[in-house]
Structure 1
Amino acid sequence: MKREASCSCGTLSITAKGEPVKISVCHCRECQRRTGSAFGVAVFFDKERVAASGASNSYTRSGDSGRSIEFRFCPACGSTVFWMPEFREDLVAVALGCFDEPSSLVPEQSVYEENRMGWVGLDLLGGDCQSRKP
């Protein structure tokens, strides 16, 4: 299976082959700031199964682990399409909302629940949610 994802204007895109390694909802304050929403959703793929095309800019920050996370975003529209966490060097995370068919990708875990907005309720994998820190 091949999945396509792109930014809002279509300048930056990514193709991922195969099934994701995991799909995670993150409620950390940094994901809230990055998305401008209550949480972010990362679809993780093995690095060697992902190919990006188009121009991108990057922003690198430190995560709670002290290791860096490099975010790649479109220089035209600003959409963050994917990122590479140093603590998981073999994986690339792709923003769920950037996929052509995001509804086919269902999160299986929720992390940083202590920062979850009180009005957010998730039914992950039929209610079998793993809530933990990454």
Structure 2
Amino acid sequence: MEYSGRCACGAVEIRILGKPLAVRQCWCRHCQQIAAGGPTHNAVFRAADIGIEGPTASHDYVADSGNILTRTHCPACGTPILGGSSARPDMRAVRLGVLDEAHGLRPTIAIWTSEAPPWALLDPALEQYPQQPPAPPAPQS
């Protein structure tokens, strides 16, 4: 499978050669902050399957899970590109909004639902975890 996309200003391009290990909706407070109050929507891929061209900036923080998370974004327009976790250095969570339309990916899991605001509409069809879920299956080389 192949996916591609770009940030809002076009300075950063992403290309992914591989299939997602998971597609998740995250309601943690950090994700709500970067998503203007809602959840982020992320497809987890093998890090080795992802190529990025153009300038990026990143920010590290300690997540509620205790892991060090790295958020990568376009320094010009601020578009979130992907995230990485110290717990899973071989995986990256690509923000669905950066991918070209018609990618066909949709969340199957909602995570950190315990931090969703009271007005959040959680899809009952999604598998739900109040906090950090088990890791997706390890990527195969």
TM-score, length basis structure 2: 0.85
Provide the secondary structure at the position in 1 that maps to 2:34: helix
Residues 72-99 of structure 1 show CA distances to partners (whole Å, capped at 9, x for unaligned) of: 1111101111121111111011111111
Residues 25-83 of structure 1 show CA distances to partners (whole Å, capped at 9, x for unaligned) of: 01111100012131111111011111111001111111122221111111110111112
Question: 1:118 deviation in Å?
Answer: 3.3
User: Could you say what the CA RMSD is over the residues aligned between the two structures, in angstroms?
Assistant: 1.6
Question: 1:7 deviation in Å?
Answer: 1.0
TM-score, length basis structure 1: 0.89
The residue aligned with 1:130 is 127
Question: Which protein has the bigger helix share?
Answer: 1
State the identity as a percent: 27
The residue aligned with 2:34 is 34
Residues 104-132 of structure 1 show CA distances to partners (whole Å, capped at 9, x for unaligned) of: 111010011112233333447xx2x2111
Residues 44 and 92 in structure 2, CA contact (< 8 A), matched pair in contact too: yes
Residues 3 and 103 in structure 2, CA contact (< 8 A), matched pair in contact too: no
2:7 counterpart letter in structure 1 = C
Provide the secondary structure at the position in 2 that maps to 1:93: strand
C-alpha distance in 2, partners of 1:2/1:93?
16
Structure 2 segments unaligned to the other structure (5+ residues): 133-141
How many residues are treated as equivalent by the alignment?
131
Residue 49 of structure 1 pairs with residue 46 of structure 2: no
Structure 1 segments unaligned to the other structure (5+ residues): none
